[in-house]
Amino acid sequence: MNASSEKYDVVVIGGGPGGSTLASLVSMQGHRVLLLEKQRFPRHQIGESLLPSTVHGICRLLGVTKQLDDAGFMRKRGGTFLWGRCAEPWTFAFSERADSPTGYAYQVERSKFDKILLDNAAALGVEVREESAVTDVLLENGRVAGVKYCASNGGCRQASATFVVDASGHQSTFYRFAGKRIQSKVFQNVAAYAYFRDGKRLPEPNAGNILCVAFPDGWFWYIPLSRSLTSVGVVVAKENAGAIRNLWDEKGHSFVDKCPLIRDFLGDASRITEGPYGVVRVRKDYSYCNTAFYRDGLILVGDAACFVDPVLSSGVHLATYSGLLAARSINTALEGHLREDVCLDEFEYRYRREFGNFYQFLTAFYDMHKDEQSYYWEARKVLGSEEGSQAAFIKLVAGLSPDDENVFPSGPGQQVSHGLGEWFGKLQSAEKCGRGPSSCRTDVKGFDFDTFLPGISSEMTQVQLQALMGHERGGEHPLRRSGLVPSADGFHWSTPVAFQRNK
């Protein structure tokens, strides 16, 4: 290590939601954190539809509740889907009670949301340097011990740290120091998206909902970002990558024309053609999982570690939740309460578990859409596919080794089994829909979409409890034998016994 390099407890690569969450939660414990972000904020990013646990859990812990309120983001009460066997759209709400204080999330312009989190990190003591791109990590006796970074004006420097956190998103090149990035074989999709003025809105109280519409070539998202601004994206097979860029050009309305509901919603709308929202953007190769989420001195959070398909709006939740998990591990290890590898095993176990829950639900959700005539939908049936039968990717998602084979009775629905196998089965056995939207919901036998989010992730509830009740919340059980639990303050790990004693 260069003798003149700067020294920190933690260097974070990337100032997206994962990086700024982690940096803030470590800095709040008094540790010295440097965050390096290659762009200058506000910058554009996709991932605009949030979940309640991010808004009422992580963002409350970070102390940005008022800034989010003041920003005037659109309130999202749930999701509306034209998906499955139903001919009509159906809706789920985060809460049945319209006045529930935590029964909503936000649709955000990520340029504004991410800047709120990054500015807040700086206010909490994180040294934030924008336009500073990390170009390499520095190794010392096999441990990642720092980074090399270059400012946009050309000057390059080094910074050393006890921990380097890779939060550089899907563009990460540093994940390879921890393991291999394995692409999903089933979710080989490509997405194109653009922004529109004056698109239609769903009737109240669902005007702020995300609308997801399946059609023979894939599916559309339609996210109302304000009264007049809408983010519209289409997800299709990667074989369509060439055609997709023409999506909204004069000649190429093909995908919109094939999807009557979206065509109707965009009937009086015009595509924005200037400024940051004025280009059609394309994203591909975004469904993957790394073989390891950490190695000595290096931790991957958010998209740097894994991401699969945006239909459940899980990306920012997973990025910020993994930021919290990694922050607990770093705080505990830096303060010498528990061994570093034990803390980081807990981080990786919990992050894979959460990701696995979403992955499992996602596969069920894709399998649920019936369109035997469509190449797109048949090619994405996980059951019977290479991914489903060999289950290698699913095991990777869940962090299971071949030795864990005997925990799988049969089928991927049970493989990442954290209590969702039953729901998966119900989705698979969904019968024909009834006549209207409400019967569409109830005819998916015994499956209650209104409770699916808390069901996917009990961790979301725990994070919200930590944010709302702090020390007053009840003790948590470990998620596995000899696992750790969050400390009473929620910012460290404890052994289950220590937690009870210290309460």
Ligand X SMILES: Cc1cc2nc3c(=O)[nH]c(=O)nc-3n(C[C@H](O)[C@H](O)[C@H](O)COP(=O)(O)OP(=O)(O)OC[C@H]3O[C@@H](n4cnc5c(N)ncnc54)[C@H](O)[C@@H]3O)c2cc1C
Chain residues binding ligand X by CB under 6 A are 13-19, 36-39, 45-50, 133-134, 167-169, 171, 191, 233, 283, 286, 302-303, 307, 310, 313-316, 319
Nearer Cβ to ligand X (355/499) = 355
State the minimum distance, in angstroms, from the CB of residue 282 to ligand X: 9
Residues counted in the chain: 503
Nearer Cβ to ligand X (46/269) = 46
Nearer Cβ to ligand X (174/377) = 174
Number of Cβ within 10 Å of residue 314's Cβ equals 27
State the minimum distance, in angstroms, from the CB of residue 7 to ligand X: 19
Nearer Cβ to ligand X (311/338) = 311
Q: What is the largest CA-CA distance in the chain?
A: 73
Backbone phi and psi for residue 290, each to the nearest 5 degrees, phi listed first: -85, 150
State the minimum distance, in angstroms, from the CB of residue 480 to ligand X: 25
Q: What is the 3-state secondary structure (H, E, C) of 206-241?
A: CCCCEEEEEECCEEEEEEECCCCEEEEEEEEEHHHH
State the minimum distance, in angstroms, from the CB of residue 169 to ligand X: 2
State the minimum distance, in angstroms, from the CB of residue 103 to ligand X: 18
Nearer Cβ to ligand X (220/449) = 220
State the minimum distance, in angstroms, from the CB of residue 110 to ligand X: 7
Number of Cβ within 10 Å of residue 179's Cβ equals 17
Structure tokens at 60: 């409350």
List, in sequence order, the alpha helices (H) in 107-211.
110-123
Nearer Cβ to ligand X (365/499) = 365
Nearer Cβ to ligand X (303/443) = 303
Closest C-alpha to 156, from 186, 134, 188, 140: 134
Residue 42 · residue 111 · CB < 8 Å: yes
Nearer Cβ to ligand X (265/499) = 265
Q: How far apart are CA 280 and CA 233, in angstroms?
A: 9
Pairing state between β 105-107 and 74-76: antiparallel
Q: How far apart are CA 418 and CA 414, in angstroms?
A: 8
Q: How far apart are CA 197 and CA 230, in angstroms?
A: 6
Q: How far apart are CA 290 and CA 182, in angstroms?
A: 6
Q: How far apart are CA 246 and CA 360, in angstroms?
A: 33
Q: How far apart are CA 110 and CA 29, in angstroms?
A: 27
Nearer Cβ to ligand X (322/417) = 322
Nearer Cβ to ligand X (262/338) = 262
Q: How far apart are CA 212 and CA 80, in angstroms?
A: 6
Nearer Cβ to ligand X (46/498) = 46
State the minimum distance, in angstroms, from the CB of residue 313 to ligand X: 4
Structure tokens at 179: 């393991």
What is the number of alpha carbons within 13 Å of residue 394 lying toward its C-beta?
A: 29
Residue with tokens 């040294």: 127
**Bridge-partner residues for 403, per DSSP?**
none
Strands in 40-126 per DSSP E? 74-76, 78-82, 90-93, 105-107
Structure tokens at 476: 């948590």
